[in-house]
Amino acid sequence: MTLKINIGCGQTPTKGWRNYDKSWSIRLAKKPLIAFILRKSGFLSEPQQQFISFAKKENILWANAIKKIPEKNASVDVLYSSHMIEHIEKDDVGKFFKEARRILKSGGAIRIAVPNINYHVENYLKDGDADKLIESTHLTRKSPKTIISKIKYFIIGDRNHQWMYDGNSLCQLLSSSGFQEPQVMEAGSTNISDPGALDLKERSPESVFVEAINP
């Protein structure tokens, strides 16, 4: 049986794949009483409440991919992750790739999509709007001011970007983590056999897509 997983799927799980996310909403989807209390206390926004319902409906599973993806060694054929690793501190991305290599079969494929820093820089060179460039990278953040926002920050953590990549830097990162044949892919193209419902153009044109092989 072929096993394909989507790590950090958010609100775009892939049908026919096993989908994981680290959001607290995934855990709250299985704890309706706690979710109810948090909602009444003002800790859950309307979008968060909607995602809790969505996660339950779509059977999205919880995983902290830096520490442990709950799959057996060498059991996964394809691992996909879109717009996730830019939220991880750069020093920790290698931990995720190490865990990815653990669960991928020999010859298994990894496909990573991230915001392409080149895309944002090229837009800046066209319009010369520095503020727009900085905002588009999501590398800045506002400090929480209210008690509730501070508690949310303590529990949920920072949701902004920690690092940005282009195709070359992502290929180098995969290579340094032990993957082979890293390759920048055009949006819509893949070397994965039978990708099924996988969105090969997810968040294009701002995305860059890279695939590699687990040796």
Bridge-based pairing of strands 61-62 and 18-21 is: parallel
Q: Which pLDDT value is given to residue 79?
A: 98
Looking at per-residue confidence, does 47 or 43 come out higher?
47
C-alpha 184, offset from chain centre? 18
Does 151 score more than 60 pLDDT? no
**Closest alpha carbon to 88 in 76, 70, 106, 100:** 100
The pTM (predicted TM-score) of the whole model is: 0.89
**Closest alpha carbon to 7 in 112, 132, 114:** 112
pLDDT in tens, 170-195: 999 999 999 999 999 999 999 999 99
Look-up of token digits 């059991």: 75
Handedness of CA 189, 190, 195, 201 (dihedral sign): negative
Does 153 score more than 60 pLDDT? no
Q: Mean pLDDT in the chain?
A: 90
Distance CA 167, CA 88 (A): 17
Of the CA atoms within 13 Å of residue 77, those in its CB half-sphere come to: 11
Q: Which pLDDT value is given to residue 152?
A: 56
Q: Is 156 exposed, middle or buried (0-12, 13-18, 19+ CB in 10 A)?
A: middle
Q: What is the mean pLDDT of residues 42-69?
A: 87
Predicted confidence band at 142 (pLDDT cuts at 50, 70, 90)?
confident
Predicted confidence band at 149 (pLDDT cuts at 50, 70, 90)?
low
Q: Which pLDDT value is given to residue 45?
A: 73
Q: In CATH, what class is 4-22+63-116+163-213?
A: alpha beta
Does 5 score more than 70 pLDDT? yes
CB-CB contact of 11 with 54 (8 Å): yes
SS3 sequence of 65-128: CCCECCCCCCCEEEEEEECCHHHCCHHHHHHHHHHHHHHEEEEEEEEEEEEEHHHHHHHHHHHC
